Amino acid sequence: MSMEMEWDDPMYRSTVALFERTAESMDLDPNIRRRLRYPDRAIITTFPVRMDDGRVESFHGYRVQHNNTRGPFKGGLRYSLDVNLGEVTALAMLMSVKCAVMGLPLGGAKGGVRVDPSKLSRAELQRLTRRYTTEIINDIGPESDIPAPDMGTNEQTMAWIMDTYSQMKGHAVPAVVTGKPVSVGGSLGRGQATGRGVVYMVMDAARHLGMDLGEKTTAAVQGFGNVGMHAARKLHKMGVKVVAVSDVYGAIQNPAGLDIRALKRWVNKHGKVAGFPESEPLDPAHLVELPVDVLIPAAIGGVINEKNVQKLRCRILAEGANGPVTAAANEVLRETRDVFVIPDVLANAGGVTVSYFEWVQGLQSFFWSAKEINQRLYQIMSKSFHEVIDVAARRKVDMRTAAMMHGIGRMEEAMKLRGLFP
């Protein structure tokens, strides 16, 4: 794949268009605008991995560091066949904004390896992860760039990265990554943080709209992975009827509400939501069109597009995934006040917020209780929600534009205060 094709990615084009439109509407300083439009650096590597059968295969890896004016680069690492430079760059840019929206002293980064992790054995995944880590080892660290899990990676992946980095440094360096197992310096509550944070934002949005989140409230969750599953569990625990869920294999529904705890046990045993006894099959494409109070797209990007956006019948759209709404669909939503959008840079920021907590705990070697984690997470997310609501009201703009303005404005302030070197 040529470099031109790498950059010609729909998500990159969409993200840059959103940034440019926001910059124009907030009259962003032209020098800051030019600097933020591109990442500080992009690391592209092709590296060999020996497979279990003795073959040597080459893989393409990326780490894009967008801006570190407010603190060290921070962002996830994904393993997917769709990974490319354009996608990773777009996600890094959004991470910069997300950290600024939440008021975290961090910058934005993102990384990935173009691979289908489901096709590799555990031993192959470990070798791939360790080799990728050595390729970027001089560009990551507790004070420079801190990776975290994302699509296709998990706490085991982070443990391998931490160990590889630590072996090279000659001593344990837990703070080099977040999202690790608790036994090697991870934080309580990190695995549930993104899904829990989405629900925290739904709670605040419901209060803002005068809605009562109870047994009469319905929700649909697209994606039953780490984010969607924990969001569904939290809603179910609150008494909300989760009437439909989906995963990569299919979708199910039950108008009376799904038993999410039983569904989780089913998925743990069978690997998919399809076939769950107390449900009926649903066309996955129709899940986002269901008449529910809360819709949480928590799978992949671009699922709400110009073809189905007019069919949305939810009151609150909480973006658990990154970029679930295309640029064209977003233009429709901006003019549709019937749907209250909680944009991804706000809705799914629980993960990076608790990653920040984990990083702080690792640096000071002092750990907090799960109760402290959840309380601090809600305080930060709720404060950020009301700040964005305030921007939307003052500027008379939609929530996505308000969130982007809020984050970019904080970055602009920091960049002007630090000045230009030399």
DSSP 336: -
The two domains 3-185 and 191-347 share their CATH topology (first three levels equal): yes
Residue at 213: amino acid letter? L
Known catalytic membership, residue 110: yes
- pLDDT, tens digit, for every residue of 382-408? 999 999 999 999 999 999 999 999 999
Q: Is the pLDDT higher at 1 or at 11? A: 11
Say which residues have a Cβ less than 8 Å from residue 103's Cβ, sequence separation at least 6. 380, 383, 384, 410
What's the first-to-final CA gap in the chain, in angstroms? 37
What is the homologous superfamily of the domain 191-347 according to CATH? NAD(P)-binding Rossmann-like Domain (3.40.50.720)
Sorted by where each begins, the domain ranges of the chain are 3-185, 191-347
Whole-angstrom Cα distance, residue 228 to residue 382? 20
Instruction: Report whether pLDDT(63) > 90.
Output: yes
- The b-or-e profile of 328-348 (16+ CB within 10 A means b, else e) is ebbebbeeeeebbbbbbbbbb
Length of the chain: 422
Whole-angstrom Cα distance, residue 323 to residue 91? 9
Whole-angstrom Cα distance, residue 15 to residue 160? 31
Distances from the Cα of 119 to the Cα of 80, 287, 300, 325, 355, angstroms: 11, 28, 19, 29, 28
Domain 3-185 has CATH 3.40.47.10: no
- pLDDT, tens digit, for every residue of 108-120? 999 999 999 999 9
Catalytic residue among 74, 98, 110, 180: 110
Mean pLDDT of 28-48: 96
Confidence (pLDDT) at 2: 45
- pLDDT, tens digit, for every residue of 159-209? 999 999 999 999 999 999 999 999 999 999 888 999 999 999 999 999 999
Distances from the Cα of 407 to the Cα of 89, 223, 404, angstroms: 17, 27, 5
**Contact present, 58 and 47 (Cβ < 8 Å):** yes
Confidence (pLDDT) at 6: 58
Among left, alpha and beta (phi > 0; psi -120 to 50; other), residue 339 is: beta
Say which residues have a Cβ less than 8 Å from residue 250's Cβ, sequence separation at least 6. 272, 273, 274, 281, 282, 284
- pLDDT, tens digit, for every residue of 226-264? 899 999 999 999 999 999 999 989 999 999 999 999 999
